[in-house]
A and B are shown apart, each in its own frame.
Chain A
Amino acid sequence: MTLDAAIQFLAQGAQMFLVLLIAPLAVGVTRRVKARLMRRQGAPLMQGYRDLAKLLRKESVLAESASWLFRTAPYLIFALTWVAAALVPSFASGLMFNWAADVVALVALLGAARALLALAGMDVGTSFGGIGSSREMMIATLAEPAMMLIVLTLAIAAGTTRLAGVADFFIAEPLAVRVSLALSLVALVIVALAENARIPVDNPVTHLELTMVHEAMVLEYSGRHLALIEAASMLKLTLYLSLLICLFAPFGMAPAAAGIGGWLIGTAAWSSKLLLGAALLGVWEVSIAKMRVFRLPDFLGVAFVFASIAILLAYLSRGAAE
């Protein structure tokens, strides 16, 4: 029993390190795919790791007006995002702490990281930091209602808000095409694009552009602090890809009772799906232009409408099933 518990504990730890390990690679894949589609050579796949190592080696320059909050925030943001990412089931659904946070709590953990980042953006007292923070919080107000509706649809279908429970449910269910879930998927993809500051909501490669959001908030960071912030945003991308996989394509994921063999298969399945997702993101990003900030309500409104229709359909199908 204790050995079993130890293995379970290690598996949870392994998931924690796995997400951390794969996150820069996923970003590398996205960047590489984008570059190739634009007929550029592109940076090597490992560039994400190199960037982080480079930032860690550099000294940190703090603005004179930066307070303690500015220095502590990166650690907390990184830790919050990391814990949230480690709680999304990746290779197995029945890990030791899979119950600690359900979808609602997970979204709130990311919300806490976002609030801290927005506060850090305002700490130095520059106009860029403020513009980024205020837009980030505005986008969050647009994304969260849609997210809530998606959660509600899943809860209606699976009867639980625990991610592992939802994943188990979809593994067990025969692969029936459900319109409501397809609509939720679209909605969640849109929310994920917004939350990760990807095109068309924000452009992760621009600086010095007034439409930027995330990059404006972190403009004052450098050195190890910037490394942590960058790592946190890579983790967040991995988290959302994991979440999409866990909720809509959980095949291959090891069920609760699986042993080490199942976990290995699960890891292979999860990481290939994750990298595929990252590649798709690259394709998506070259095929669409960045939107103006004030067109975002329309874009996220689409997510909201899709999520609402998904709920209506979920009601109807439930009514038909009864």
Chain B
Amino acid sequence: MERPGQRVLGVYGLGSALGVLAVAAILATLTQAALALVYPLCATAAIVLGALDLQVLLSDGSLSGSLPLGLPTIGLRLRLDPLSAFFGVVINGGVLTASLYGVGLDRIELTRRVEPLFPIFAAAMNLVLVADDAYGFLFFWELMSLSSWALVVARHTDPEARHAGHVYLMMAALGTVSLLFAFGGLAGPAGGYSFDAIRAHPPGPAVAALVLAAALIGCGSKGGLVPLHAWLPLAHPAAPSHVSALMSGVMTKVAIYGFMRIAFDLLGPPSWWWALPPVVLGALTAVLGLLYAVLDRDLKRVLAYSTIENVGVIFVALGLALAFKANAFSAAAAVALTAALLHVLNHSWFKSLLFLGAGAVLHATGRRDLDGLGGLIRTMPRTAVLFLVGALAISALPPLNGFVSEWLLFQAVLAGPTLPQASLHFAAPAIGAMLALAAALAAACFVRVYGTAFLGRPRSVEAAQAHDVGAAQQVAMGVLAMLCILGGLLGGPLAAALSPLVTRIVGGALAAGGGPTPLSLVAFDAGRSVYDAPVIALFVAIASVTTLVIVHRLSERRTRRGPAWDCGFPDPSPATQYTASSFAQPLRRVYGTVAFSARETVTMPPPGDRAAARFSVVLVDHAWRVFYAAPARAVLDLSLRLNALQFLTIRRYLVLMFGALVILLAIAAVAT
């Protein structure tokens, strides 16, 4: 597998790319003039690292090495295996496009609070993937958390950003602590912290359960699994837009990687019940994430909430893969795992695209509130087209890439009833229904976002005077939009390219080339389920062109422009348009009353009174109330009570110390 030449090249490539990132970071801290160099350097490093990852992934090989750093006994072990390489491709694709976007930023937009941290953040994410021992993994994980935290609080004068940074820091700490426990459990009493040692001695079932729970908390808090999601919609939008793209599109994937590394690799052969927590939490996350998204009015926050949904979808797919793998249904496990991996890839593309698009809108108008935008399809025509591709792709509509992974996931769910365990096969329909609900909500959410921000008439002066962003930013978005289209059409070949990795993990792969055409995507076998995006796209293209030609031949071709009809009462004021809030109203009534105890109150002045009528909506975020506000209050309460301990007399302190000593001795006596 590992050829010497390849190894030398790999080590050289990895080292030099990381070196470039380090140089970029150092340069940027030294001089203001060097800030502009950061993004070209990062783009170069991302190309090198991405190429290296792609090579390892496609050749199904691995690279490993160790450095005399880290824990004294084992050093710092590094290993790039196909799983890391796959996530490396995802991450470096995101870093590359974000850097491309960064190249186009104006000189005055660059600050020392953002640019030096960008390469560190990129390098940290890459290093988490190649870490091959628990210490290195946690160290780089923490580096990733801290560098992204610093990027979130880059605009530290904004109280919202400070609040976001605070919550993020707490959640990141919680995540790292649980991962610490997870690796402690994996290493066992002997303390074998290298991944090889862990693989050699997988833990027993009880410890495995604890490790799985800790991994779910640790990785789930980074990825935004409900109820650990609260920091994500605060922190992701607070960062500059291309960094938001990295955090939402890419950093959440590192969390997925962490979970996969632990659950599919280090924990040993799975038991069937491991599937339940990720599947149930994932499905809840998917629906709840979108319910938040569909009711929110801030463009970037909507995107962050939709990231939560997608992470939920990926966790559902991973959970199903675990269930099938535990039952040795390798074909179904391959469908589920391919769905998960493709969704990781697809989500990194369309979410980066959408965040960069949001960045372009923010740059052009200075606004992120949906109700202040509108009509951008005329003022920012290019961004509008690219954003539309992203919006349709994330809504899982064929023939774009979001639907490929969604289709595979539905096929995996449809195989769910064959599972022997009652709880799993009765869960399958519920999961399927929740995923279908999430897909429909995603479509509603992005029709709402696109319809209010880009369509209609401008609702503010800024939106009316917007302009397209520069060429570099357009190229960055264009590349991603192209990937969304190609990924949709070439789902079959992409799945085939992943099949060595999938086989490695679950022992089976999608039937490649078994379909009616070479490009069709086949789940199980061709007699059962086939999705052929190129054929469908061709059909639709032929049908629309034929229609266009025939209709233009047959019909009256005159077209007149006139005022909007609007049932005879067109109002010139753009304020009479449907807003994002009004679009969400039916959904809020149907789902919000259940999920958020939404209540609407209308105060009408009495007849004759000319005061304005008032309408207000109250939403209660139960997840925040129960999982964040209540513990925070409890901690505060407890600390206030303990505060009394600071004002005791010296005799009492001595008594306390003596008491503690006695208790410790008693414990020691009982334990031995």
Q: A64-B562, A79-B547 are in contact. Are A315 and B443 (CB under 8 A)?
A: no
The answer to whether residues A63 and B562 also contact, given A100-B536, A315-B425, A315-B426 and a CB cut-off of 8 A, is yes
Contact at B586–A138, with CB atoms within 8 Å? yes
B506 within 8 A of A: no
Q: Do the beta carbons of A125 and B457 come within 8 Å of each other?
A: yes
Bound complex: CA A148 to CA B240 (Å): 39
**Complex interface: chain A residues within 8 A of B455 (CB):** 67, 69, 119, 122-123, 125
**Do B574 and A125 touch across chains, with their CB atoms under 8 A apart?**
yes
Interface locus among B49-57, B345-353, B550-558? B550-558
B61 within 8 A of A: no
Say whether A138 contacts B444, CB under 8 Å: yes
A129-137, A196-204, A241-249, A278-286 - the one binding chain B: A129-137
Q: For A57, give the chain B residue with the smallest CB separation.
A: B556
Most buried by B among A68, A127, A207: A127
Q: Which residues of B contact A121 (CB under 8 A)?
A: 451
Residue in chain A with minimal CB distance to B533: A105
B417→A208 contact, CB < 8 A: no
A contact residues around B467 at 8 Å (CB): none
- Contacts A104-B407, A134-B578, A165-B527 known; A141 to B444 CB distance under 8 Å? yes
In the assembled complex, the CB of B586 is this many whole angstroms from the nearest CB of chain A, namely 4
Q: Please state if B578 and A83 are interface contacts (CB–CB under 8 Å).
A: no
- B456, A65: Cβ atoms under 8 Å? yes
Kindly state whether residue A99 has any CB partner on chain B within 8 Å. Answer: yes
Contact with B560, one of A61, A111, A143 (Cβ below 8 angstroms): A61
A145 and B397 form a contact (CB under 8 A): no
Tell me which residues across on chain B come within 8 A of A114, comparing CB atoms. 443
Q: Which of B377, B398, B547, B571 contacts A109 (CB 8 A)?
A: B398
> Which residues in A have their C-beta under 8 angstroms from that of B456?
65, 122-125, 130
Chain A residue at minimum C-beta to C-beta distance from B378: A67
Partner of B559, one of A62, A82, A126, A148: A62
* Residue A47, interface by CB 8 Å: no
CB distance from B408 to the nearest CB of A (A): 10
**Interface 9-residue window, one of B31-39, B200-208, B360-368, B432-440:** B432-440
CA distance A160 to B528 in the complex (A): 5
Contact, CB under 8 Å: A304 / B433: yes
Q: Which residue of chain A lies nearest to B586 when distances are taken between CB atoms in the complex?
A: A138
Is there a chain A Cβ closer than 8 Å to B66's Cβ?
A: no
The answer to whether the Cβ of B73 comes within 8 Å of any Cβ in the partner chain is no
User: Which of the 9-residue segments B265-273, B537-545, B612-620 touches chain A?
Assistant: B537-545
Which residue of A has the minimal Cβ distance to B590? A297
B451 contacts A99, C-beta separation under 8 Å: no
Given A67-B455, A108-B397, A125-B457, A219 and B447 contact (CB-CB distance below 8 Å): no
Q: Determine if A134 and B540 form an interchain contact, defined as CB atoms under 8 angstroms apart.
A: no
CB-based contact B451/A59 at 8 Å: no
Interface residues of A in 44-83 (CB under 8 A from B): 56-65, 67-69, 75-76, 78-80, 82-83
* B528 pairs with A67, CB closer than 8 A: no
Contact size range, B: 35 or more
Contact A105 B582 (CB under 8 A): no
- B584 / chain A contacts, CB cutoff of 8 Å: 134
Give the CA-CA distance A15 to B498 in the complex, in Å: 37
Q: Is A259 an interface residue (CB 8 A)?
A: no
Q: Which residues of A contact B571 (CB under 8 A)?
A: 127
Measured between C-beta atoms, what is the minimum distance from B491 to chain A in Å?
Answer: 11
Tell me if B101 counts as interface (CB < 8 A to partner A).
no
From 208 to 234 in chain A, residues with beta carbon under 8 angstroms from any chain B beta carbon are 208, 219-220, 222-224, 227-228
Known: A62-B559, A69-B377, A79-B540. A112 touches B392 (CB 8 A): yes
Which residues of chain A have C-beta atoms less than 8 A from B392's C-beta?
Answer: 112, 115
Give Cα A227–Cα B639 distance, bound, in whole angstroms: 70
State A135–B411 Cα separation when bound (angstroms).
29
Knowing A104-B410, A125-B564, A138-B590 are in contact, say whether A97-B433 is a contact too (CB < 8 A).
no
A155 within 8 A of B: yes
User: Which residues does chain B contribute within 8 Å of A129, judged by CB atoms?
Assistant: 578
Residue numbers in B under 8 Å from A127 (CB-CB): 566, 571, 576-578
Q: In the complex, what distance in Å separates the CA atom of A28 from the CA atom of B554?
A: 22
Contact A161/B441 with A62-B560, A122-B451, A228-B551 known, Cβ cut-off 8 Å: no
Q: Quick check: A148 and B410 within 8 Å, CB to CB?
A: yes
B115 within 8 A of A: no
Closest to B530 in A: A99
Determine the distance from Cα of A104 to Cα of B555 in the docked complex, in whole angstroms: 35
Q: Are A101 and B536 in contact (CB under 8 A)?
A: yes
Known interface pairs A59-B558, A101-B536, A219-B565. Does A75 touch B411 (Cβ–Cβ under 8 Å)? no
27 examples of A-B residue contacts, CB within 8 angstroms: A56-B554, A63-B565, A65-B564, A75-B551, A86-B539, A100-B539, A105-B536, A115-B447, A119-B450, A122-B456, A123-B451, A133-B578, A134-B585, A134-B587, A137-B440, A138-B587, A140-B440, A141-B437, A141-B590, A145-B433, A148-B410, A148-B435, A156-B417, A159-B528, A161-B529, A162-B530, A224-B551
